[in-house]
A and B are shown apart, each in its own frame.
Chain A
């Protein structure tokens, strides 16, 4: 079975996010960028499947600017076999990404597509679900456990009320949560090998997908600064404040 993993280049989780001076978006110039942490977990899971013999090939796909090739290189250094880079200099919305991924799935014919449950930059949490709908495939979102056997994937989903175990037919789309695994560090020999692994580059046009945004961002602003709190003397005062100041009870 072939496994396709979708990865996104995002602002590194350690970086303090700053809004651009003109309010047009988040500052990404000269900011450290890395692979979306959820996607690292997706890559790790795919590699473990190949190591366990349940998958034969792991293909890492990224959609984004020229530098996204570096993010694909990181996945290759972790152990993915080859990469596909859809070069796209403009911002892409989840629907466009899902359409592009659908076109790639149709070409590559994988048995499983693994995605991070969401990207830490826009926190959309939509791409995996949209992709599954477009493909008409089963989906398992927010999984913390995955076992593929026969024609099924047994997944454990992290839902609000606890854990939900479901069996889905493959081919399927799954999106991964934090507790699925702990991604490995790329080893030095693998970093060097990654340089020689192939990355196919293509454009949205090649895949026949219109990626023009359907939304217009009017303005991006910093959230209001948090005000210092006050200490209340007793419970009665607290209830009073909640009632009359915050008006929440």
Chain B
């Protein structure tokens, strides 16, 4: 089993130098988020992560969850760990102080979430899903629902879930069949909840409900997408309901169990400690649910919450990559095998002396750092989009968030899988043996490219809604900002590393501009060709934006080194990863652009019979 240590030095560096904590802490309502406070928070989160959550990662993988007599049993230690998490007040970090949250920036929440994902991804899903329920309730819930449910969700005393998928309704939620009908308010059975607003009965079956049942909390707040009887077909007919596992009782206490049954527990490739439920609603006449917002606007509400959720999934990619890197690095520093290629007469050396192994470790490290930079940068944009005083500025930041979210989600999770995969390779044969622990990261990471919108769907969202719709305005503005860094890079191009980074970034951003112009021209006339290669475009945008942020990190590191300020070893290592990233990742930008612009045609013109 490997130890996990939160990479506090890099986290702080990225938060301050790349993601503009100063700018975020200047926003109204976020003044408390000073660098020293943020550092203290990360340090304590790091402790909880490495001492409480990380040691359970392996246990959770091996034991998994079990459904016994209709009740879900969690792996050993998870209940106690969740108790510590709630006691520590971590669940409420970014939320409204009015309901018991701490009102800290999303930027800080992003970094802290990365720690939970690294320490124990399967555990982290429970609080991650609660975030979605809190967002939905905060934005669209009635006053009464908020007063009853929000404080308990914000502390984490209760958790939230998303009930969207059904066997026939996966990526296409329009085919949801779960039914809802309004209950007569005079019905005696529901008189206790009259304060909660419009009351409905729900019947149907939901699958893939993460943390849909478990023993960590006394109540679970399900957000359920269902069709009110008589409503239109497709996504337009869907409404959203809050359906609690246990109904409210008298005086705010817990009342009767709702009509929800655990049908089964899925057996999955990874995240074994995260219970994935099949839930049946209304076997006994209809589960009771409360309408969120208005009827037939459910899908719209779900989409407003998606940005945050997808940022969270992207962090799973970052978190797993970091953990896999730490594991592989530790192994490579101990494993003696072979002779140094430059000194074949010498004794055996640890495998991190072999250039190919070093290449793998550096590629893991550099890509993880680039993903972290992009995720934190997006978190910072999210704070600005919500709190900048000028509405124009807010819109501009929101457009940037909307553009980057599918990239954070899909690029980081695809890369996370890749990094975990490389981690196994570093271990050689031992990596393929479960006891080593490297394989779990790959199995756990795999789901992140699938749920919360597959990465293919993310790419469609990017090329269609985020780029074609505004004719590339937002992405071209971002590309112009990236290009503008060239001037700054030119001032330090006496340094060989910085000169290389500058050249590679310039080529990369040209490829991005070129591909974007092609996308905007082609989308209206050949949507099949654009969407066939959309994943390449998404990776292109991720690669170049990551390269830009790594270049900014390199500039800050260079300035620190020149002034002799800060942790010089760390700054030197940052220059190495930035240079490595430019040489090994940014160089791929041109190829991705070509595959995007030229590779779609053969796909678009070949029907399913040729596949």
B84 sits at the interface (CB 8 A): yes
Residues of A within 8 A of B32 (CB): 192, 195
Determine if B568 and A188 form an interchain contact, defined as CB atoms under 8 angstroms apart.
no
Map CB proximity to A onto B10-34 as digits: 1 under 8 Å, 0 otherwise.
0000000000000000000000101
B193-207 contacts to A (CB < 8 Å): none
For residue A8, CB closer than 8 A to chain B, the reply is: no
**Chain B positions within 8 Å of A194 at CB level:** 40
Query: Which of chain A's residues have a CB closer than 8 A to the CB of B41?
Result: 188, 191
Majority secondary structure, B binding face: helix
The total of interchain contacts (Cβ-Cβ below 8 angstroms) comes to: 48
* Residue A99 interfacial (CB < 8 Å): no
Q: Which residue of B lies closest to A189 (CB)?
A: B89
Q: A residues within 8 A CB of B567?
A: 30
Give the contacting residue for B48; candidates A32, A185, A190; CB below 8 A.
A185
Which residues does chain A contribute within 8 Å of B569, judged by CB atoms? 30
Q: Could you tell me if A74 and B102 are in contact, using CB atoms closer than 8 angstroms?
A: no
Cα-based distance from A188 to B104 in the complex (angstroms): 10
Check if B48 sits within 8 Å of A189, measured CB to CB. no
Residues of B within 8 A of A32 (CB): 8
Taking the complex as formed, is B92 at the interface, i.e. its CB lies under 8 A from any CB of chain A?
A: yes
B536 is an interface residue with CB less than 8 A from chain A:
no
Please measure, in the bound complex, the distance between the C-alpha atom of A186 and the C-alpha atom of B40, giving whole angstroms.
10
B88 at the interface (CB under 8 A from A): yes
A30 to B560, CA, bound (A): 14
User: 1/0 per position for A177-218, CB-CB distance to B under 8 A?
Assistant: 000000001111111101100000000000000000000000
Binary CB contact string for chain A from 134 to 146 against chain B (1 if under 8 A, 0 otherwise): 0000000000000
Docked-complex contact A188 and B570, CB < 8 angstroms: no
Q: How far is the CA of A234 from the CA of B329 in the complex (A)?
A: 41
- Are A191 and B5 touching (Cβ within 8 A)? no
Whether A192 contacts B102 by the Cβ 8 Å rule is: yes
- B37 and A77 contact, CB distance less than 8 A: no
Contact indicator A186/B44 (Cβ below 8 Å): yes
Query: Which residues of chain A are near B8, meaning CB under 8 Å?
Result: 32
**Interface check B172, CB cutoff 8 A:** no
- Interface residues as binary, A85-122 with B (CB distance below 8 Å gives 1, 0 otherwise): 00000000000000000000000000000000000000
Asked if B47 lies at the interface with its beta carbon under 8 angstroms from chain A, I say yes
A195 to B32, CA, bound (A): 9
B 57-95 contacts with A by CB, 8 A: 84, 87-90, 92-93
* B44 CB contact (under 8 Å) in A30, A77, A195: A77
**Known contacts A14-B5, A185-B84, A185-B88, A191 near B568 by CB under 8 Å:** no
Check if A82 is an interface residue, CB within 8 A of chain B.
no
Residues of A within 8 A of B88 (CB): 185-188
Contacts of A73 in B (CB 8 A): 36, 40
Contact present for A191 and B37 (CB under 8 Å): yes
Interchain CB contact (< 8 A) of B37 among A14, A30, A190, A195: A195
Q: Chain A residue with minimal CB distance to B93?
A: A188
Contact B44 A189, beta carbon cutoff 8 Å: no
CB distance from B77 to the nearest CB of A (A): 15
Specify which chain A residues have a CB less than 8 angstroms from the CB of B102 in the assembled complex. 188-189, 192
Complex Cα spacing A192 to B92, Å: 13
Distance between B153 CB and nearest chain A CB, rounded to angstroms: 16
Given contacts A14-B5, A30-B568, A30-B570, contact A192 B37 (CB under 8 A): yes
Chain B interface size band reads: 20 to 34
Query: Which residues of chain A from 24 to 44 have any CB-CB distance to chain B below 8 Å in the complex?
Result: 30, 32
Known: A14-B5, A30-B568. A191 touches B40 (CB 8 A): yes
The answer to whether A187 touches B87, judged by C-beta atoms less than 8 angstroms apart, is yes
A77 to B48, CA, bound (A): 14
Chain B residue contacts of A74, Cβ below 8 A: 40
A190 contacts across to B, CB distance below 8 A: 89
Complex interface bits, A211-231 against B, C-beta within 8 A gives 1, otherwise 0:
000000000000000000000
Binary interface encoding of chain A residues 150-192 relative to chain B, with 1 for a CB under 8 A from any of its CBs, else 0: 0000000000000000000000000000000000011111111
Nearest Cβ on chain B to A188's Cβ, whole angstroms: 4
A186 to B46, CA, bound (A): 12
Q: How far is the CA of A27 from the CA of B290 in the complex (A)?
A: 61
Which residue of A is nearest B41, CB measured?
A191
Taking CB atoms, residues of chain A closer than 8 Å to B568 are 30
Report the nearest A residue to B8, measured CB to CB: A32
* Chain B residues within an 8 Å CB radius of A187: 87-89
Task: Give the residues in chain A near B93, CB-CB below 8 Å.
Answer: 188
Chain B: which residue is nearest A74 at the CB level? B40
The interface bits of chain B over 411-428 (1 if a CB of A lies within 8 angstroms of the residue's CB, else 0) are: 000000000000000000
CA–CA, A185 and B44, complex, Å: 7
Q: Which residue of A lies closest to B84 (CB)?
A: A185
Q: Are B44 and A191 in contact (CB under 8 A)?
A: yes
B84: A residues at CB distance < 8 A: 185
Contacts of B36 in A (CB 8 A): 70, 73, 195
- Shortest A33–chain B CB gap in Å is 11
Measured CB to CB, the closest approach of chain A to B29, in angstroms, equals 14
What 0/1 readout, one digit per residue, does chain B (329-370) give for beta carbons within 8 Å of chain A?
000000000000000000000000000000000000000000
User: Cα distance A190–B90 when bound, in Å?
Assistant: 11
Within 8 A of A (CB), among B133-181: none
- Tell me the complex Cα distance, A74–B52, Å: 19
Question: A185 and B40 in contact (CB under 8 A), knowing A14-B5, A30-B570, A192-B32?
Answer: no
- Closest A residue to B33 using CB positions: A192
A70 to chain B, nearest CB (A): 8
Q: Which residues of A contact B89 (CB under 8 A)?
A: 187-190
Nearest-CB distance from B84 to chain A (Å)? 7
**B80 shortest CB reach to chain A, Å:** 13
Binary contact readout B86-118 vs A (1 if CB under 8 angstroms, 0 otherwise): 011110110000000010000000000000000
Instruction: Tell me which of A186, A188, A191, A194 has the highest count of chain B C-beta atoms within 10 A of its own C-beta.
Output: A188
A residues within 8 A CB of B47?
185
Complex Cα–Cα for A89 and B380 (A) = 37
Q: Are B570 and A77 in contact, CB atoms less than 8 angstroms apart?
A: no
**Nearest-CB distance from B412 to chain A (Å)?**
25
Q: How far is the CB of B132 from chain A (nearest CB, A)?
A: 20
Shortest Cβ distance from residue B219 to the other chain A in the assembled complex, whole angstroms: 22
A70-B40, A192-B32 known, 10 other contacts, Cβ within 8 Å = A30-B569, A185-B84, A186-B88, A188-B44, A188-B90, A188-B93, A191-B40, A194-B40, A195-B37, A195-B40
A-B residue pairs in contact (CB < 8 Å), sample of 20 = A30-B567, A30-B568, A30-B569, A30-B570, A70-B36, A73-B36, A77-B40, A185-B84, A186-B88, A187-B88, A187-B89, A188-B41, A188-B89, A188-B90, A188-B92, A188-B93, A191-B41, A191-B44, A192-B32, A195-B37
A residues contacting B by CB (< 8 A) are 14, 30, 32, 70, 73-74, 77, 185-192, 194-195
| Closest CB pairs A-B (n = 7) | A188-B89, A30-B567, A187-B88, A187-B89, A189-B89, A186-B44, A191-B40
